[in-house]
Amino acid sequence: MKKILVTGYNGFIGSLLVELLKEKGYGVVGLDTTYFGPECELFHRDTEEGIEVIRKDMRQLSETDVEGIDAVCHLAALSNDTLGKIDPELTYAINYRASVELARLSRRAGVPKFIYSSSCSLYGKAGDEALTETAEWNPITAYAKSKVKTEQELMPMGDDNFCVTSLRNSTAYGISPKLRLDLVVNDLVGWAVVTKQIKILSDGTPWRPLVHAADIARAFIAVIEAPAADVNKQSFNVGIDSENFQVRDIARMVGEVISGCEVVITGEHGSDSRSYRVDFGKIKRLLPGFKPQWTLRKGIEEVYEAYQRFKMTEEKFMGRYFVRLRQIQYLMDSGKVSKELYWEK
């Protein structure tokens, strides 16, 4: 039985990846510092059942943590642009330097495959042309810059014994035990549910490529199962060509699914200037094992149904449990973690 290490196993995507790996018969080791504990669950699923668990900060790993591992699926990170603003240096320390060190440890320990969770946000602000993996990087935020820096150091590590792959994920959405509301689709559906108004704090023209979190998990499994020669030292945009949308079109589709909601496009200039369309021809061509199962409309319907079933209220929606920045800020303000995000108690 192959043993797969999933860093960030307790997160939005990681918790889905663990379940899919278990369904396929893999042995799973989950590594997480667990900033987002049981109180941050939309619903309970015992992700830890049947797996080995390592509770460690990414910055404190050793070679023994990766011994006997057949593939590392590296998702652990400070997970979005807004969170990176707390202290950009923390984002570089965790997302960049600790990621590169994990790859070095994995290589020394003889791990055959290292799969990195990157992001299409490294393309930053672009035009209307669909960008391939060879497009110029234009990272705007500390989060996106950390992804660029990590890719730049990871790719040269690949050799005949150490296969390195970078998955540049589109903007995720969907339902997971560890829900995130700081994602455009999940957020817009939430506003529709709790206020009956879908508000876009821009002119609605920015482009976003979208992909369901479970399909991102499927991309990791496709790389695990692909011949190393097909994926070594390769970066893949993760998504589907038909799933590039302007923000205003996402809002309108939410309004079509959830009747009785008003779509309000304010025309303001917000702090998020990212806009990029992405080409997904490479992953379709070179990674045939990746078979995404979700579309945006189907995903909106899933999120809406879950918010109703689990009784999403305005209090929950505006609280800390499903917004990464608010939860991290709470942990810092309450003294549970230090300003460097190490656990205090």
Give the bridge partners for 264, in sequence order. Answer: 199
Which among 64, 21, 15, 68 has a CA at the least distance from the CA of 43? 15
Least confident of 83-92, 186-195, 275-284, 317-326: 83-92
Q: What is the CA 188 to chain-centroid distance, rounded?
A: 18
pLDDT band at 266 (very low <50, low <70, confident <90, very high): confident
Residues 272-299 have a mean pLDDT of 93
Which among 169, 202, 214, 212 has a CA at the least distance from the CA of 79? 169
Is the pLDDT assigned to residue 92 strictly greater than 70? Answer: yes
The pLDDT value given to residue 308: 97
The pLDDT value given to residue 196: 94
pLDDT band at 336 (very low <50, low <70, confident <90, very high): very high
How far apart are alpha carbons 189 and 289 in whole angstroms?
31
The pLDDT value given to residue 271: 57
Over the chain, what is the mean pLDDT? Answer: 94
Q: What is the pLDDT of residues 142-194, one digit of tens each?
A: 999 999 999 999 999 999 999 999 999 999 999 999 999 999 999 999 999 99
The pLDDT value given to residue 51: 96
pLDDT band at 81 (very low <50, low <70, confident <90, very high): low
How far apart are alpha carbons 285 and 123 in whole angstroms?
21
How far apart are alpha carbons 280 and 132 in whole angstroms?
7
The pLDDT value given to residue 267: 76
For each of the domains in the chain, give its residue range(s) and CATH number, in order of start: 3-179+211-245+276-295+324-333 (3.40.50.720)
pLDDT band at 273 (very low <50, low <70, confident <90, very high): low
Q: What is the pLDDT of residues 39-74, one digit of tens each?
A: 999 999 888 899 999 999 999 999 999 999 999 999
Cβ-based neighbours of 103, under 8 Å, separated by 6 or more: 72, 74, 114, 116, 153, 154, 157, 164
How far apart are alpha carbons 178 and 323 in whole angstroms?
10
Least confident of 94-108, 147-161, 269-283: 269-283
Is the pLDDT assigned to residue 85 strictly greater than 80? Answer: no
Cβ-based neighbours of 113, under 8 Å, separated by 6 or more: 70, 71, 72, 162, 163, 164, 165, 223, 224, 228
Higher pLDDT, 271 or 266: 266
The pLDDT value given to residue 3: 98
